[in-house]
Every structure is written in C-alpha cells, then in structure tokens.
Amino acid sequence: MDDIFIQPEDLRPSVEEPEDGSSLEPDSDTDSDADASIKSTNSYSSRNLQVTMENNRRYADDSYFMPNDESELTRLNIVHQIYLILLDGRLTTAPLQMERPRILDIGTGPGDWAIGMSAEHPNAQIIASDIGVFDSGLGHLSLPNVDFQLADAKSQWTYHEPFDLIHIRGLSGAFNNWHAIYTQALAHLKPGGYIEVADADPAGDTVATEEPSHLRTYAAALRAAADETGYPRDLRHLRTDALSEAGFVGVRVQERSIPIGLWPEDPHEKTLGKMALIALLEGLEAYALRTLTRSGRWSLDEAKDLCEKVRGECVSARGLTARVRIVTGRKPVSFAQRRGEVLARAMAKVKVLNEGPDLPKDE
C-alpha cells in the first residue's frame, strides 16, 4: 500500500491559527452520532476547528502532547506502513468474518488505518474519531463507509449501535485512565466483538540500546514528565491484566522487536530498520517538546539539544531495536447467547444424522 497525500482544498476544515502563536480554546462540542451511514454534526466538514501553536509545532488542543502538523503526519504515514509490514499486509489481527462489520477507530489521526479498512471491507460501517484533524490527512476523503468524527474518547461515548471491532493504536500518553477507556469500549462492543490496542512508545523503554546513552536519558525524562501530568507514557495499558480487569476475555498479546537503523544484514530487515529510523528521528521532538517544556524542568533549547544528541546516537547505533506490542481481547458472549449457539450447532448435527448432509441440488 502506497502513501497517498490528498489535499482537497474545498474539504479542508477552516483552521484558525493565531498569528502570535498563542493558544486558542478548543471547541468543546464532542457529541457523537453513531449512525455511520449519516454524516453527523461532528463530521469534519461541519466543524470550525481551532488549533494551538507551541514551540513552532501545531497541536490539536491544549492538552494532548503530540502535534498534529505536517511532520507528524509524515511520521504517522511511515508508522502505518511499518505496522502493515509487521502484520504481513494485514490491518488487524482480530478476526472479522461478518458481512457488514461495524468498526470504531479511536484516535484515528490522519486516517490511514480507517481508510485501509474501508477498502478491505466495502460493506463495513466505520467511525473514525479524533480530537483533531490533519490538514492533508485522509480524513477529508468522502467515502460512503467511513465517517470521520470529532470526539474526545475521554468523554462519555454516545455511539448508539455497538461495534464488532474497536481499534486503538498509538494512544500511549493520551489517557489518564485507560481502565475507563476499556470499560467504555466493552460497553460499546457487541458480544463476541473485539478490541485491538497497539503501541510502541519510545518513552516506554521500548527502544533498546546496550550502552548508557542519551536515548535512555530521553526516555526516562519523558516518562518522568508524563507521569507528573497523570498521563503515563509506557505500555502498561497493553498488559493482559489491563484488558481482563475491564472484562475482556481471550486476551492475546503479540510483541515484535523491530530493528532501527541500517545495521541489519538482511535486506527486508534493513528496509524495516530504515523506515523505523526515519519514523524515530521524525518523532524525537514531537514526542518530547510539549511534555518536557511543560514540566518546567527543561527549557525549549535544552529539550531540543537532548533530541539532537539522541538523533546523532540513533543514526550511528548498531543493534538498536524497538518493541511493538499488539493486544486483542473479546467481549464475552452472554450465557443465553452461548447456549443458543450450542443448541443451534447440536440441532444442525441431529439434522445431519437424521437426513444426511445437505447436498447441492441438481439443476
């Protein structure tokens, strides 16, 4: 799948950026309308978006730590391609066998995943939600089976119909209470429906290096600063327990280690390493600037200087790797439903025993 950059001027939201770089209050209207077949009042085109400029980066609001500007869009496009490589071209590890799956992508960002799912499941109803909009992201495409909506997942979810799959990728540090997010997700899934959560936040010690290094200082500083804000930056939300405590069953954790840099001999791994290196370098400041400068212990220059040192180290490091974690869980099927399914299977067996298997009828 190739990256597609589309910037239909007429579909771009009206973005008001203050010339002096000061902060604007984000619009707080985050009601959600679940009917994916109807463009809701939260659809991008119906909203006046406001953004915050800080440290020369553009942010969707005043609280989430990652920017939503062109550099971040590029990084997310690359990360999306890395996930595709890791999953052998698949978009999800969750089984989706139904004819018209209902899918929710929380924190969809530029929308690459949601758009990929819409192509793979043309009959699906997909809601792709986020607190912000990327100017040249795919969220401006008008597709019959995807509804891009503005919604803060920390608020009460108001989707009216349950989903078959809820997807949450790259949201480490976005929530102060993952249990509340998982509880809402469980409530908004059909019985037997899946949640899939994936992350590889370098602040969570996912990037491994043997030497004491600037990279370690960087990760530790980010974690400490994020912990102070109450929005942890690690992979604790991807523990099996985190999902099972919220009521999910059949929780599966898949973890992959990927190379960062040009050091692998194997050509496939080298390509992956190159992509991961570009994504990491592109993300160093994005991950750090707001978090570190707001902690009060790092000036902008100090934070940038640290990023620069990490950059130099990562470019030349051999053996640098990153851990990517993907967790899936299922909403339990109720006893009555399970009994119904067992009965239906038993009846089908009895029918076969009595009448023989259904054979194709002669024309």
Ligand X SMILES: C[S@@+](CC[C@H](N)C(=O)[O-])C[C@H]1O[C@@H](n2cnc3c(N)ncnc32)[C@H](O)[C@@H]1O
**Rg, the chain, Cα only:** 22
Residue 68 in contact with ligand X, rule: CB under 6 A:
yes
Q: Shortest distance, CB of residue 75 to ligand X, whole angstroms?
A: 8
The answer to whether 131 contacts ligand X (rule: CB under 6 A) is yes
Q: Which is nearer to ligand X, 109 or 264 (CB)?
A: 109
Q: How far is the CB of 230 from ligand X (least distance, A)?
A: 13
- What's the Cα-to-Cα distance from 83 to each of 19, 89, 280, rounded to whole Å? 37, 8, 14
The answer to whether the beta carbons of residues 316 and 175 sit under 8 Å apart is no
Q: Please tell me whether residue 138 binds ligand X under the rule CB under 6 A.
A: no
**Is residue 146 near ligand X by the rule CB under 6 A?**
no
The verdict on 139 binding ligand X (CB under 6 A) reads no
Site for ligand X in 151-210 (CB under 6 A): 152-154, 169-171, 174
CB 182 → ligand X: shortest distance, Å? 14
Please compute, for residue 123, the number of CA atoms within 13 A of its CA located in the half-sphere on the CB side: 6
List the one residue from 54, 69, 130, 199 that touches ligand X (CB under 6 A): 130
User: What three-state secondary structure class fits 194?
Assistant: strand
Least separation in angstroms between residue 54's CB and ligand X is: 14
157 versus 264: smaller Cβ distance to ligand X: 157
Q: Can residue 47 be called a binding residue for ligand X (CB under 6 A)?
A: no
Instruction: Kindly give, in sequence order, each residue whose CB lies less than 8 Å from that of residue 31, ignoring residues fewer than 6 positions away.
Output: 41, 42, 151, 158
Q: Is 24:107 a contact under the CB 8 Å cutoff?
A: no
**Cα torsion 34, 30, 110, 267: sign:** negative
| 60 contacts ligand X (rule: CB under 6 A) | yes
Instruction: Tell me the β-bridge partners of 199.
Output: 325
**Residue 198, C-beta contacts closer than 8 angstroms, at least 6 positions apart:** 83, 168, 169, 170, 238, 324, 325, 326, 327
109 binds ligand X per the rule CB under 6 A: yes
Out of 74, 92, 108, 209, point to the residue binding ligand X (CB under 6 A). 108
Stretch that binds ligand X, among 104-112, 139-147, 232-240, 290-298 (CB under 6 A): 104-112
Q: Which is nearer to ligand X, 131 or 320 (CB)?
A: 131
Taking the complex as a whole, how short is the minimal distance between the CB of residue 3 and ligand X, in angstroms?
A: 12
Size of the site for ligand X (CB under 6 A): 23
Query: CA 11, CA 223: separation in Å to the nearest integer?
Result: 38
In order, the DSSP letters of 89-108 are T-S-SS---SSS-EEEEET-
Residue 357 CB, nearest approach to ligand X (Å): 46
Helix (H) or strand (E) holding 224: helix 214-229
Q: Which residue's CB is nearer to ligand X, number 106 or number 221?
A: 106
Residues that bind ligand X (CB under 6 A): 60, 64, 66, 68, 76, 80, 106-109, 112-113, 129-132, 152-154, 169-171, 174
